[in-house]
Each structure stands twice: as structure tokens, then as C-alpha cells.
Structure 1
Amino acid sequence: MKSIFRMLAVIVPIVVTATCSLADTTPGKPISGKKEFEKHCSSCHANGGNTINQAKTLHKQAMAANGIRTARDIIKTMRNPGPGMTRFDESTISDREAKVIAAYVLKAFNK
């Protein structure tokens, strides 16, 4: 019986932490596109680049060449990416977060 409680004492905090890290930010509270980008995207897209496929950066010319011109296009790619990119479904990045990330990408890298 003690071993079950010990196991639960270890597992419950891990599950709660993992669930909270995937949850949407507080409803009604502003979300920083830059912070969300840094949290979810910058490991592969630092400074708008692309560590996996250098032909698919987040800069205006490269995105246009790949058929990505709008925030909706960016979100569509986040939700259903091609080979090499992590898929960010609604349980990983909420629609609200995806919209601010897309707006940030367009503002920061499409000059």
C-alpha cells in the first residue's frame, strides 16, 4: 500500500506539470507572440531561420516561395507541417496562441 502512495506522490506532480505546460494561457490575459515563439518555435527557427531545411525560413521571400503569405497559412503549416517539422495541434498550442505566434512571425521576419 505504501508503494502505491509513493508512486502516486511521484506521478501526480509530473502529470500536473505536464498538463499545465500544454494548457492555454489564462483566458483574457494578453499573450506575447514573441514569448510564445521563443517557447515553441525558436529552437528550430532562431532569428527566423530554419535549422532543418534552410530553404524554408520564416523570412518573407522564403515563405512566399513555399506558399505561405498570411497568418492563416502559418497556422495551417503549424497544424499540418511537412517532413522535419514538429506538428503543433490544438492540444499543444491553442488557436489563440497560434494566432499570436503567426502575427509575430509576420511582423518580425517579413520585412
Structure 2
Amino acid sequence: MKKVLVATAAVLSMSVIAVPAFAEAKKGEKIDAKAKFDQHCVACHPKGGNIIKPSKGLGKKELAANGIKTEKDIVAKMRNPGPGMTKFDAKAVPDAEAHAIAKYILTTFK
């Protein structure tokens, strides 16, 4: 009986810790934009570069040269990218997260 109680307590403790990590950000909650960028973007855009198409990095000059100047432009590119980039629809990256990532890109990679 004691082993069952200990095992149950351990499972419940782990679920309390794990659930927030898998939960989507709720309206009004702060989104860790760097963590979201690292989760979805850094594999192809380390340090704001681009391992697939070097001319399409995330620095302001590269973005502007590719017609991307605003947060809205970045989100649009995430939703409907060109060849070579993964498409991130609203199910994969909710709008609030997409906008947080876009803002992070604009403020981080100059």
C-alpha cells in the first residue's frame, strides 16, 4: 500500500510540473519569445542567419532586401513562406506566439 501511495504521489507531482510546459500561452500571459524562436526557428536561423538561403537572413538589411519590414510581414512569411522554409500555420504557432517571435527578430537581429 505504501508503494502505491508513493508511486501515485510521484506521478501526480510530475504531472503538476509537466502540464505547464505543454500548455499553450493563454491570452494575457507573457510569451518567452526567445524560447519560441529557439523552438521553431533557430535550427535554420542560428544567430539570425539562414543555413538554407544565406541571402535570407534575419538582419534588418536582409529582411528589407526581401520586402520584410514589419512584424506583420514576418508573421505573413511564417504563414506562407517560399520554397525551403517550413510553413508555420496558426495551429503550429498561434498568432500571439508568431507576433512575439516576429518582435524578437526585429529587436534582436540588427
TM-score (normalised: structure 1): 0.76
Query: For the residues of structure 1 that align with 2:24 and 2:69, how far apart are their CA atoms?
Result: 26
Partner residue, 2:88: 88
Query: For the residues of structure 2 that align with 1:72 and 1:33, how far apart are their CA atoms?
Result: 15
The number of aligned residues is: 90
CA RMSD of aligned residues (A): 1.5
Q: Which runs of 4+ in 1 moved over 6 A?
A: none
Letter in 2 for 1:102: A
Identity %: 48
Letter in 2 for 1:61: K
Q: Residue deviations 1:40-66, cap 9 Å, x none?
A: 000000100001000000011111000
Q: Specify every segment of 5 or more residues in structure 2 that has no aligned partner in the other structure, as ranges.
A: 1-20
Say if 2:107 is the partner of 1:103: no
TM-score (normalised: structure 2): 0.77
| Matched residue SS, 1:81 | coil
- Of structures 1 and 2, the larger Rg is shown by 2
Partner residue, 1:77: 77
Q: Specify every segment of 5 or more residues in structure 1 that has no aligned partner in the other structure, as ranges.
A: 1-19
Letter in 2 for 1:106: L
Q: Given that residues 24 and 93 in structure 1 are in contact (C-alpha distance below 8 angstroms), is that contact kept between their aligned partners in structure 2?
A: no
Question: Deviation at 1:68?
Answer: 0.3
Query: For the residues of structure 2 that align with 1:56 and 1:83, how far apart are their CA atoms?
Result: 12
Partner residue, 2:65: 65
